[in-house]
Structure 1
Amino acid sequence: MSRSTGKVSTLELIAFAAPAAPLLALSLPVIIFLPPHFAEHLGLPLWAVSAIFLGARVFDLLIDPAIGGLQDRTMHPLGRRKIWLIASAPVLMALLWLVFLGLPPGIDPWLAGFAVFAMYLAYASMMIAHLGWAGELQPTYHGRTQVLGAVQLASAVGQALMLIIAGVVVQGFHGSNADAVSTMGWIIFALIPITTLLAVTFVKDPQTPPQPHLGFRETVKTLAGNKLALRVLAPDLLLGIAQGVSGGLFLFYFQFVLGFENEAQTLLAIYFMAGLLGVPIWWWLARARGKHVALQIALVFASLTTGGILILPAHEFWFAAPAMLAAGLTNGGGVLLTRALMADVVDEDELRTGARRSGLFFGVLLTTSKLGVAAGPITYAILGAVGFVPALGSENSEQALLTLSVLFIAVPIVLYALAALSLRKYPLDEKAQAELHAAIAARHAALADVKEEPSAIAAPSPTTT
């Protein structure tokens, strides 16, 4: 069972991280822009929008671990991660075009939901392949942080690009939200094949034998019995819920509560561009203090900056812009650090079981993240119940705006705090991971010696009479 032990060059790191730009760029409009687009442009009722995007997230609960397990069992000359990236890319491109550009106003909610579900399936296949590969590219504690840090930087670039495009289309060219969605769709559509080609051409996929198949029961049992995995999944779920709520309501809050009808996209772009600046900060803190401590600091900082939104004055862009710059520094830090922590958990699982199941564990990590983000569409149903009207220019009641404010600010603050508390006394630090890595390397060396050892049974020597 060979594993990558050599250094990865800067050029290889850039090429490897490249697919994260369109993949994470796609996740942003799916959370922030598509639900309002489905309600405003396609004319779907809020309950249907909530059902479609919540249902798609729940669908992920079943498919992500299954996809991860299937990829772990794949054997191909190109590498088990590469072949899934190559196969998934054109499928995702076709479905992306359909969801962002091909759905007409007045479409039946069932057809719209089917298109979204299919797009999520293709997206999950590419994401799990890329993350599983990231966890195996460099097996050391800080090596994984470096690889996943590059992935997060590429993600932040992709997300910032989407928001810049949205701001330019809406604010610069006075386009509609539908124009912004279609433009983002075309950009992501073009970037997927280019970045995938870079990764599969210039980066090696470490050859690992296919792992044993785990059924649904065995998968649940494996995860339930892995306390370290649960320690990572808990804050990831809480963080996902917080980001799903705040991301899904960002435009509504800044447009309807603070009165930034045309500047909301620009503020959102500032928020995500700040995430690009924040990645090196959290990477440095992870090296200096450990990944779980860096994650706790990021979560506490996120609580404080989210609370600061309460004191922002309405219609004052130059007060809101620096506040979003500060708040955005933590965007992506949580994702980077939970993924880096999970890569170490895979080591612990391998030492106990002898199987390297990166796809399974990252598939489950994506499941909890997506399940958390599903809280965004749930908030739409809550707002619909209190009579909130999402169309720009509409008058909303004080009760509706108060509900929006509580959901957007108070709920994430509580969740960030709980996530930080859940990481107290987390045991798998740099020293513990180095011991795991050494034990795994010793096992691999012992297995290699057994395979190379000549037969202990010597051939009989000729006798003379």
Structure 2
Amino acid sequence: MSTTALGAPSIAFGWRRGLAYASLSVPLAFVSLPLYVNLPFHYASVLGLPLSVLGAVMLAVRLFDAVVDPALGRVADALFRRGANTARCAAALGSAVLAVAFAALWRPPSSGVTAWLAGALLLCTVAYSGVSILHQSWGTRWGGGPALRARVTGWREAGTVVGVLLASALPALAGWNATSLALSALLVAGLVGLNRLPAAVSPRPEPQARSEPSPWRHAAFRQLLAVFMLNGIASAIPATLLPFFIADRLQLPHWQAPLLLGYFGAAVLGLPLWVRAAARWGVSPAWRLGMMASVLAFAATPWLSAGDGAAFALVCLCSGLALGADLALPGALLTGVIHQDGAGGRGEGAYLGWWACATKLNLALAAGLALPLLAVAGYQSGGGTSAGLQALGWAYGGLPCLLKLLAAAALLRAERLNPNWKDRA
């Protein structure tokens, strides 16, 4: 164990601890982006739920769920104050609720589909948030310099990408019942991995009493969260619209599974490169580079049309490589902000609760705004007018590029205000 410049002790973090920490990320990933890729398409195309109703339900559930995330963060801090075993037990309880709610999503009754979707999705996402905040707090409490923080978040997000790959492939290969069973088994394995991790590191005692951490008092957190939300919405819009784009714009519905596998497989390969880039150039500069690489990879997408599967596969591979920066580096910056603000080891949950809230708002805004707007533009799942299909192309490919550029500009400004974001050691 060593002491970092931020004043908090650090731990040795080799590949064994990396695997143990990443193991819980794998099942949690089933309820992140893959859910918002598959769920709207499933309820629209298989169950016939109108896009406007679907978008409204998903937006309402996500907004309600997001409201409780800061409270869940405070609960996580209270659990950690009672000890690591208490946090582990809470994670196990949340995982059980998550497994049941996820299975229920894919088994709606013949009537009352809308209410069933709202209830199951709310339980699923609240349980997901509670377990995720506990899991992220565990790694965040270790602290460390930029290189260690990037490794910790890199391992966690590597597990996330593996989970995304499984969640993308399993439904097509084995169906939703098998996917739900796989989620349950992976949650058990993840909890075993969590049990093998060392207890979270506590900071040095401070001479003066400190009040409860308040993330919003710190300009660095507000600046980072603004960048995270701009960039997150840019990623969430194409994630939500991907099945519609492949099926109706490219007219290649059977390509969805291999394209997703290629995209997230490229992200797995890219993650170690972005972790090394952060160690060499600094976390913030590396993240900005990833944003610009994503824009370059995605810029041609609005002009793709029916049959352009090969070109889109190249876009998926290149943008997947860039995705690694979005996965590993924002969390590393957040850990630094938490410890710089003096909240390391005592108030991570307060920060991570708002971080989770922002993540859900990103997905909610993507689904709740993009889908109804496309309906107004004349697009309908399974076809629509030529104007509607053109609107789908620009919503899927053009709008995310604009938001990415805005996020990169905001990050550059925040980096100038927080020079330590460029630290390499």
TM-score, normalised relative to structure 1: 0.82
- Change in CA separation of 1:94 and 1:168 when aligned onto 2, cut-off 3 Å: closer
SS in 2 for 1:287: helix
Q: Are 1:83 and 2:89 matched, yes or no?
A: yes
**Matching residue of 2:99:** 93
Distance 2:391 2:141 in 1: 44
What is the CA-CA distance between 1:138 and the residue it aligns to? Answer: 4.2
What is the CA-CA distance between 1:331 and the residue it aligns to? Answer: 1.9
**Matching residue of 1:51:** 56
Alignment map for 1:148-227 (pairs within 5 Å): 148-168=153-173, 179=175, 181-200=176-195, 202-206=196-200, 208=202, 222-227=214-219
Q: Out of 255, 275, 298, which is 1:283 matched to?
A: 275
Q: What amino acid is aligned across from residue 16 of structure 1 in structure 2?
A: Y
What is the CA-CA distance between 1:379 and the residue it aligns to? Answer: 1.2
Q: What amino acid is aligned across from residue 383 of structure 1 in structure 2?
A: L
Contact 1:141–1:344 (CA<8 Å) still a contact in 2?
yes
Q: What amino acid is aligned across from residue 367 of structure 1 in structure 2?
A: C
- Change in CA separation of 1:428 and 1:98 when aligned onto 2, cut-off 3 Å: farther
**Matching residue of 1:248:** 240
Distance 2:136 2:247 in 1: 35
Distance 1:3 1:65 in 2: 24
Distance 1:212 1:32 in 2: 43
Contact 2:105–2:121 (CA<8 Å) still a contact in 1?
yes
SS in 1 for 2:165: helix
**Matching residue of 1:347:** 339
Q: What amino acid is aligned across from residue 105 of structure 2 in structure 1?
A: V
Q: Are 1:388 and 2:379 matched, yes or no?
A: yes
Distance 1:302 1:291 in 2: 17
- Change in CA separation of 1:387 and 1:137 when aligned onto 2, cut-off 3 Å: same
Distance 1:163 1:212 in 2: 45
Alpha-carbon deviations, 1:57-96, whole Å to 9, x = none? 2123311111011111223343454233222111111111
Q: Are 1:292 and 2:292 matched, yes or no?
A: no
Distance 2:254 2:66 in 1: 36
Q: Are 1:336 and 2:328 matched, yes or no?
A: yes
Q: Tell me, which stretches of 5 or more residues in structure 2 are unaligned?
A: 1-6, 204-208
What is the CA-CA distance between 1:325 and the residue it aligns to? Answer: 0.7
SS in 2 for 1:259: coil
What is the CA-CA distance between 1:417 and the residue it aligns to? Answer: 0.3
SS in 2 for 1:246: helix
**Matching residue of 2:313:** 321
What is the CA-CA distance between 1:13 and the residue it aligns to? Answer: 1.7
Alpha-carbon deviations, 1:292-347, whole Å to 9, x = none? 10110011111111112245463243333222111111224213211110101111
**Matching residue of 2:420:** 429
Choose 1 or 2 for highest CA Rg. Answer: 1
Q: Out of 347, 352, 364, which is 1:374 matched to?
A: 364
Q: Are 1:13 and 2:35 matched, yes or no?
A: no
What is the CA-CA distance between 1:279 and the residue it aligns to? Answer: 0.5
Q: What amino acid is aligned across from residue 365 of structure 2 in structure 1?
A: A
What is the CA-CA distance between 1:431 and the residue it aligns to? Answer: 7.9
Distance 2:345 2:136 in 1: 17
SS in 2 for 1:424: helix
**Matching residue of 1:362:** 352
Q: What amino acid is aligned across from residue 320 of structure 1 in structure 2?
A: F
Q: Are 1:257 and 2:249 matched, yes or no?
A: yes
Contact 1:136–1:206 (CA<8 Å) still a contact in 2?
yes
**Matching residue of 1:418:** 406
- Count how many residue pairs are aligned between Structure 1 and Structure 2: 410
Distance 1:423 1:354 in 2: 23
- Identity between Structure 1 and Structure 2 (%): 24
Alignment map for 1:445-460 (pairs within 5 Å): none
TM-score, normalised relative to structure 2: 0.89
**Matching residue of 2:394:** 406
Q: Which consecutive aligned stretches of 4+ in structure 1 deviate over 4 angstroms post-superposition?
A: 211-214, 430-434
